[in-house]
Structure formats: C-alpha cells, structure tokens
Structure 1
C-alpha cells in the first residue's frame, strides 16, 4: 500500500529519491523502519528557487509517498495527528 506522509522539514524531502529507504520518526519514536520511498511529488511550473521542493513545501512540511503495510499506514496517520514527522535515511 502507498501512504502519503507530510514530513516537517521540507528541505529534507529534496534529498529523497524513489527507492530510498527511510525511518519515519515522531519525536524520538520510530513509527516506521526501513520503508521505501515511492515518490516525492515536485511542484510544477516555471523554475524558481523553490521549484525543487516538493508540493506543499513550507510551514506545513513536504509530502513524501511511502510503500508500507496497512498497519504501518495506520500508525503513520495516528502519529501525524499528534506529532511532526521526520525521516532519517537508512
């Protein structure tokens, strides 16, 4: 299953590529370990300084799509309700 996840630091999303493996963190807790990045949606349109940042980049973070199990998708959604999410490259 694919789960869209909004990570707090939009600049980190610029380091991610499809096929990368990441751990998703909520505070100091690992919510998902070693999950595969499916896509990092990018903004469309004319090139600007922020054109390489994923859609939704800004104070709300950036969107990353991950391949996860249903159980992990539910855990990610729950964690996102109460904490900002971050990723660490594996």
Structure 2
C-alpha cells in the first residue's frame, strides 16, 4: 500500500531516492516543559516516490510516499497527526 507521509525535516527528504529503505520515527508533540518519547512507527519501509516540493515553507516539512503494509499505513497516518515524523536510512 502507498502511504504519503510528511517528514518534519524537508532537507532530509531531499536526500531520499525511490527504492531507499527507511525507518520512520515519531516524536510526539510534548506539552511545554514535558518530555515525549520517540518511537519507531515503521521499519524498513521502501521509498516509492519523493514528490517535488510544492513551495511549502521548510518548516512545513516535506512529503514522501512509502510502500508499506496496510496496518503500517494506518499507524503512520495516526502518528502524523499527533507527532513530528523523522526518517533514518537503513
């Protein structure tokens, strides 16, 4: 299944190419003065597409399309609402 995911750091997304494998890490938006724990929400996801930037500000992150199982796509969608997402290249 294809899952579009907004990664917080647009510069990191520019390093990705279709076929790369990434882990997606979610860092919850912590309340002021609080700490949130980061967690891996997808392991070894294949980069399917890196859409061209659409003029969003760098603070808005960047979109990447990952090929993942259906359950992982749902997890990514939920994490994207409550957390900032980052990737590490496998």
Instruction: Please confirm whether the aligned pair reaches a TM-score higher than 0.5, indicating the same fold.
Output: yes
Alignment of 1:1-90 (within 5 A): 1-27=1-27, 28-42=38-52, 54-55=53-54, 56=56, 58-90=58-90
CA deviation after TM superposition for structure 1 residue 57, in Å: 5.2
**Cα pair 1:10 1:57 within 8 Å, conserved:** no
Higher fraction of helix = 2
Provide the rounded CA distance (Å) in 1 between the counterparts of 2:3 and 2:80: 12
Residue aligning to 1:48: none
CA RMSD of aligned residues (A): 1.0
Deviation at 1:58, TM superposition (A): 2.0
CA distance in 1, matches of 2:39, 2:59: 22
**Following the alignment from structure 2 to structure 1, what is the Cα–Cα distance between the partners of residues 88 and 20?**
10
Give the paired residue count: 79
> What stretches of structure 1 of length at least 5 have no aligned partner?
43-53
TM-score w.r.t. length of structure 2: 0.83
Q: CA deviation at 1:13?
A: 0.6
* 1:3/1:57 CA distance change after superposition, 3 Å: farther
